[in-house]
């Protein structure tokens, strides 16, 4: 019987309203925060290495060995489109330039012949087959020139800025130099990007996860920071496990709009996995014990109302509770909890 009456009293006390004016709330240093409804569980923290994203990045490659003659910009520098990054010496580009110039001269002659043959065909002097031969030669030369100029485009070389010994390399777009030679005289390996310009707002995170979580993380899952804010999306998950550290890897695309992250560094991440019911994310400081129950204080029009909560999971900065009785506009007290518990216990306040 005694236990029954204790339960009744506890229920009555939790149903009580704590009357407070806005002036009293401010005077007592009580602060509130809006809750956040979630449909997924944040797993973590897990460590991820950060790198520049390949999305929208521009890389520079050569088909043969070359060397750096002059280095004007370095790895990590911000560059603008058209800005000179370096100068290189390349026998491949030098021979390609000579070949291109020769083909351009031949193209001029081919264009003249094709034009004359077209006139002769219209006058009935040449057959269609003969006229098509000169037109085909013109198109063949034009295609070869485009193929050679493509080599310069892949290398980022400015054909017009060549001095016959070296080639000027310009930025294909604005961004940050994710890859660049370290010094003058450095060798450039064939078919390996020697320059890469990437975005400063799009990063990739390679997050290490325990093997048991491989089946719980799918493409499109949200990536969260330590504050619970979504900062990215899972792009893929490796099905294999690294035997050296017994982890799998999740590749995630990160937004870096506030410049929080730096390539080459590591950070803590959470990955959201779907849950079968709605949860509410509360500030960790907002939940406390009262007569062996977990409660929070919900803001009302006239003050606060204590509410019993069912804890689902505890994180570093937040506590996930059952969403029953909460809406997306519900606000809870996150500071001044001791004062509110004192008022709830009948200690009173001024």
Residue 259 confidence (pLDDT): 67
Q: In the structure encoding, which two tokens stand for residue 322, read together? A: 């059952």
pTM of this prediction?
0.59
Whole-angstrom distance, CA of residue 45 vs CA of residue 194: 35
Q: In the structure encoding, which two tokens stand for residue 142, read together? A: 């034009």
Backbone torsions φ then ψ of 333, nearest 5 degrees: -75, 135
Residue 252 confidence (pLDDT): 93
Residue 340 confidence (pLDDT): 92
Residue 130 confidence (pLDDT): 83
Whole-angstrom distance, CA of residue 13 vs CA of residue 17: 9
Residue 3 confidence (pLDDT): 36
Q: For the chain, give the number of residues.
A: 350
Whole-angstrom distance, CA of residue 338 vs CA of residue 343: 9
Residue 78 confidence (pLDDT): 93
Residue 328 confidence (pLDDT): 86
Q: Cα–Cα distances in Å, from 288 out to 209, 222, 335, 338?
A: 32, 29, 11, 9
Q: Which residues pair with 236 in a beta bridge?
A: 251
Cα 108 to chain centroid, rounded: 49
148 in helix, strand or coil? helix
Whole-angstrom distance, CA of residue 272 vs CA of residue 43: 6
Does domain 58-198 fall under CATH 2.40.50.100? My reply is yes
Q: In the structure encoding, which two tokens stand for residue 203, read together? A: 């990063």
Backbone torsions φ then ψ of 54, nearest 5 degrees: -80, -10
Whole-angstrom distance, CA of residue 100 vs CA of residue 334: 71
Residue 216 neighbours by CB under 8 Å, 6+ apart: 43, 273
Closest CA to 236 of 209, 274, 197, 268: 209
- Determine the topology of domain 43-55+199-275 in CATH: Elongation Factor Tu (Ef-tu); domain 3 (2.40.30)
Whole-angstrom distance, CA of residue 18 vs CA of residue 138: 90
Whole-angstrom distance, CA of residue 207 vs CA of residue 230: 15
Do residues 298 and 18 touch, judged by C-beta distance below 8 A? no
User: Running DSSP on this structure, what letter comes out for residue 161?
Assistant: G
Does domain 16-39+278-344 fall under CATH 3.40.50.150? My reply is no
Q: State which residues of the chain have pLDDT below 50.
A: 1-13, 348-350
Q: Cα–Cα distances in Å, from 126 out to 42, 114, 120, 121, 210?
A: 78, 12, 6, 5, 76
Domain ranges, ordered by start, for the chain: 16-39+278-344, 43-55+199-275, 58-198
């Amino acid at each position: 019987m005694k236990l029954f009456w204790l339960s009744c009293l506890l229920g009555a006390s939790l149903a009580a309203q704590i009357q407070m004016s806005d002036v009293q709330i401010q005077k007592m240093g009580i602060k509130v925060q809006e809750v956040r409804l979630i449909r997924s569980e944040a797993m973590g923290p897990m460590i991820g290495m950060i790198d520049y994203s390949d999305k929208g990045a521009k890389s520079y490659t050569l088909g043969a060995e070359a060397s750096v003659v002059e280095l004007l910009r370095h790895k990590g520098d911000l560059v603008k489109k058209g800005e000179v990054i370096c100068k290189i010496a390349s026998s491949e580009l030098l021979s390609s330039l000579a070949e291109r110039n020769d083909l351009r001269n031949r193209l001029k002659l081919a264009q003249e012949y094709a034009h004359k043959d077209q006139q002769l065909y219209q006058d009935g002097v040449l057959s269609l087959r003969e006229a098509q031969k000169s037109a085909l030669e013109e198109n063949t030369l034009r295609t070869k020139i485009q193929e050679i100029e493509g080599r310069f485009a892949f290398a980022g070389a400015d054909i017009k800025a060549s001095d016959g010994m070296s080639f000027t390399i310009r930025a294909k777009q604005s961004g940050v130099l994710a890859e660049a030679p370290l010094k003058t005289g450095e060798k450039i390996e064939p078919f390996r990007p020697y320059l890469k310009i990437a975005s400063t707002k799009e990063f990739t995170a390679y997050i290490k996860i325990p093997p048991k979580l491989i089946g719980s993380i799918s493409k499109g899952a949200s990536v969260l920071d330590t504050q619970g804010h979504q900062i990215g999306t899972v792009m893929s998950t490796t099905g294999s496990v690294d035997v050296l550290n017994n982890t799998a890897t999740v590749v995630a695309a990160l937004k870096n709009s506030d410049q929080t992250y730096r390539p080459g560094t590591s950070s803590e991440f959470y990955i959201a996995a779907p849950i079968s019911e709605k949860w509410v994310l509360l500030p960790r400081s907002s939940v406390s014990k009262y007569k062996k129950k977990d409660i929070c204080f919900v803001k009302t029009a006239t003050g606060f109302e204590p509410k019993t909560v069912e804890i689902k999971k505890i994180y570093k900065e937040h506590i996930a509770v059952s969403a029953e009785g909460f809406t997306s506009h519900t606000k809870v007290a996150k500071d001044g909890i001791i004062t509110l518990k004192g008022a709830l216990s009948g200690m009173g306040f001024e």
